Amino acid sequence: MVVGFGTVSLAADMVYEGARSVYGPLLASLGASAVVVGAVTGAGEAAALIFRVLSGPLADRTRRYWALTITGYALTAVCVPLLAVTPFLGAAGLAVAAVLILAERLGKAVRSPAKSALLADAAAQVGMGRGLGVHKALDQIGAFAGPLVVAGLVALTGVLWPALAALAVPGAVAMVLLVVTRRRLPEPEPAVGPTAAEPDAGRVHRPLPASFFGFAIGTTICTAGLVTFGLISFSLVQRHVVPTAVVPLLYAGAMAAGAVAALLTGEVYDRWGARVLLALPVLVAAVPALAFGGSMALVLPGVLLWGAAVGVQDSTVKALVADLVPRDRRATAYGFFAAVQGAGALIGGIGAGALYDHSVSALVTVIAASQVAAFLVIVPVVRRARASAA
């Protein structure tokens, strides 16, 4: 299950991470300002997260984990290549691009809780941190390859649309791999839900624990503070730090850093517990001070730290969520968790764009202060999780 979904994610990540690597330059070429780039990319991340509060409980209630997973991947496979037509739509191009970006992120919201619940159940057999870390590493291989393809095509053609159109190929591959995985594992759903070995199995509406909500608040502050790569790439191109063709290469490097961070923190999580997650606010706080610098000597480590933070959020953070909540409520928990993170992403995306236009120094200061608050909120959760494990 872990490897099967990992290969699907590898192909799918080539699609949407390849596109995300040039969202900033694409929107700028269509007439967007920094505030609009921050709003669109922030709203996209919000859509990918907030709507999981609906799709998560829907997955647990209907047990249609595979149907929701396939539908979500299909939205991504269709919407991203359609971005290639936006430069030819004149004044409507920016609006259409914004809608397609939001629709692609909505696909992520539809599939993620169901897929994460299936993965968590399988990963528990090999170590929650390791299982989700391995899946994330496979996922990040695609996230690394997609931007490289985009960078090569942009360098070759000098424009963005052929690279976006080419992403239809890995999108089709992802759908084929998903169907193959579904056929080889026709009935995995019962393993996710209640089992006879669990005396409380029938209590589907058990309340989620307070520690889960505390962790959700702390990591939401982290999400709000983690500036989107759309804004980073906008800054890099607008300030002439790098040419457009180099932006996807930096994004690919960030995805590689995310893969390494997911594997390392996953292993540390299984060995030493949730304390490893205290590094997340530190990573988030360091990103803007470096990524919005005026030279590659600052930008490169900033982008790599951004990728590492994303990798931790998408792997080891999910491992602790799975360990904090009842097994039969994981999809619901993932949905709620993602929804509050989505609210943070939306507020953070708009706020970061506005602060960037006003002052980069103010942006760095505000994010650093917010991560101090996040650290203070996460510490008690980590201590309780450590005490429970002991």
CATH of the domain at 108: 1.20.1250.20
CA–CA gap between residue 345 and residue 109 (Å, rounded): 14
Q: Is the pLDDT of residue 268 over 80?
A: yes
Token pair, residue 51, equals: 């709507």
Q: Is the pLDDT of residue 388 over 80?
A: no
Q: Is the pLDDT of residue 385 over 90?
A: no
pLDDT in tens, 305-327: 999 999 898 778 888 888 888 87
In a domain, 203, yes or no: no
Amino acid in position 96: V
| 127-140 average pLDDT score | 73
Please tell me which residue, 64 or 84, carries the higher pLDDT value: 84
Please tell me which residue, 300 or 274, carries the higher pLDDT value: 300
In a domain, 305, yes or no: yes
Query: What φ, ψ does residue 259 adopt, rounded to 5°?
Result: -65, -45
Residue written as tokens 């269509």?
Answer: 30
CA distances from 317 to 50, 122, 331, 337 (A): 17, 17, 15, 10
Q: Is the pLDDT of residue 21 over 70?
A: yes
In a domain, 238, yes or no: yes
Coil vs helix vs strand at 197: coil
In a domain, 86, yes or no: yes
94: Cα separation from own chain's centroid: 23
CA–CA gap between residue 240 and residue 42 (Å, rounded): 23
CA distances from 124 to 13, 191, 387 (A): 24, 11, 20
Centre a 10 Å sphere on the Cβ of residue 387 and count the other Cβ atoms it contains. 9
Query: What φ, ψ does residue 222 adopt, rounded to 5°?
Result: -65, -45
- Max avg pLDDT among 22-26, 49-53, 216-220: 216-220
Q: Please provide the DSSP assignment of 223-270 as one string.
A: HHHS--HHHHHHHHHHTTSS-GGGHHHHHHHHHHHHHHHHHHHHHHHH
In a domain, 270, yes or no: yes
CA–CA gap between residue 334 and residue 38 (Å, rounded): 25
In a domain, 287, yes or no: yes
- Give the model's pLDDT for residue 240: 85
| 176-181 average pLDDT score | 87
User: How many residues in total does the chain contain?
Assistant: 390
134: Cα separation from own chain's centroid: 16
In a domain, 195, yes or no: no
pLDDT in tens, 184-203: 764 444 444 444 334 444 44
Domain interval for residue 171? 2-189+208-389
Token pair, residue 333, equals: 């928990």
pLDDT in tens, 199-248: 444 444 567 888 899 999 999 999 999 998 888 988 888 888 888 888 88
Q: How confident is the model at residue 390 (pLDDT cuts 50, 70, 90)?
A: low
Q: Is the pLDDT of residue 66 over 50?
A: yes
- Give the model's pLDDT for residue 206: 67
Coil vs helix vs strand at 160: coil
Q: Are 116 and 336 in contact (CB under 8 A)?
A: no
- Give the model's pLDDT for residue 197: 39
Number of domains in the chain: 1
Token pair, residue 320, equals: 């602790």
Average pLDDT of the chain is 84
Q: Is the pTM above the cut of 0.75? A: no
In a domain, 198, yes or no: no
Q: Is the pLDDT of residue 72 over 70?
A: yes
Show contacts of 91-96: CB within 8 Å, 24+ apart.
93/30, 93/31, 94/27, 94/30, 94/31, 94/32, 94/36
Give the DSSP letter of residue 327.
G
